[in-house]
Amino acid sequence: MEADGFLRRRRMTAETTGSDPGVAGASAGAEVRWLGGRFWGVSESIVGSLTPRIGGETELQTVEFIRSAQDAQTEDTEPDYEGLPQGASTSTHMLAGAVAGIMEHCIMFPIDCVKTRMQSLQPDPAARYRNVMDALRRIVATEGFWRPLRGLNATAVGAGPAHALYFASYEKLKKTLSDVIHPGANSHLANGTAGCAATLLHDAIMNPTEVVKQRMQMYNSPYRGVKDCVRAVWQKEGPAAFYRSYTTQLTMNVPFQALHFMTYEYLQELLNPHRQYNPSSHMLSGALAGAIAAATTTPLDVCKTLLNTQESLALSSLSSGQGPGQSQGAHRHISGLAHAFRTVYRLGGLKGFFRGVQARIIYQMPSTAISWSVYEFFKYGLTQHQHNKRRTQHMEADI
């Protein structure tokens, strides 16, 4: 898969620290252009493999002309694209999921950068923003046009395999559990359970990527690039630092994905009861499901961001406020969900748990809409390809 090739063939562009936004912006631009070229190549190869088969109606029409009416009625039946194409079920969902995940994260990455900064508990005075648009405008004006995209390559590398496993496991578990819980019908319990289980695999891959990405997104980040960030975290904090927020991320994403999938499937029942390929219903259902899940789980996302970034000013505030019996190293690291909750409450009160909620919702709505739309499109296209291939083989056998 091309997404795997990102990691093997990627040679990281050298970047300067956040204190030199001009050079950092230029290197980030080169990084984005490289990623764009690679993604365009992946898209062309996928579409190229599908187009001749999906669009090749001329040969089918010639053969159909001589077929009997009975055979034509049987073979022209539309395939159940919600079902798994025999012989290519897992690969279909993995490929569609990988493309959807990469597009989702890449397109919405600038908003994700803003969300990370707005969740900061003790932001630098130069990094205090009124809203999402103000943040984007000031980041671009003061740090360079490409600065909101810094760390995008790390996210793309993780998003492909993470979402491939995510969607493939969800589809498989959803079908298996639905057959057990409510045979022949949709089951909200099955949808929620399958979403939770798929999250375990997704987060296991994405958590290290999130740590690197968020540290590079912070204002005045000291890292020159992804390799430098990975090396520094490994040497100073150990390999466990890449999974310091894993339990918190699961605590956040399990209810998030349960709400997300249950809401999406429920809205599909209302907007698309026959479960046909309907881009507008997939987009609307995905956007609303993402907004509801995002708003509900924002407090946990704030804690996750704190654990990932180990925000220096927050650590300094904790150290300066420690009692006389505590050592200076008592707050060298924030570890664990309970410690993160106490820190957020101490530094920001109840309002602190909803820092960046606007940016999170603005990020998640189009993000989930893009993800579901792209996923359903590729699933439909690949399923149609399998169906047309079987039709052609069957007609050739009849002739």
Count, residues in the chain: 399
201-215 average pLDDT score: 93
Q: Using the predicted structure, report yes or no on whether residue 32 has a pLDDT greater than 50.
A: no
Cβ–Cβ < 8 Å for 374, 99: yes
pLDDT(8) > 90: no
For residue 323, give the 3-state DSSP assignment. Answer: coil
Fold annotation for 89-318+333-386: Mitochondrial carrier fold (1.50.40)
Alpha helix locations (H) across 310-356?
312-320, 337-348
Q: Is the pLDDT of residue 10 over 70?
A: no
Q: What's the pLDDT score for residue 297?
A: 92
The encoded tokens of residue 199 equal: 């999250």
138-190 per-position pLDDT tens digit: 999 999 999 999 999 999 999 999 999 998 998 889 888 988 888 877 788 88
Predicted confidence (pLDDT) at residue 247 exceeds the cutoff of 80? yes
Say what the alpha-carbon torsion angle 260, 263, 264, 266 is, to the nearest 10 degrees. 160
Q: Is 117 helix (H, G, I), strand (E, B) or coil?
A: helix
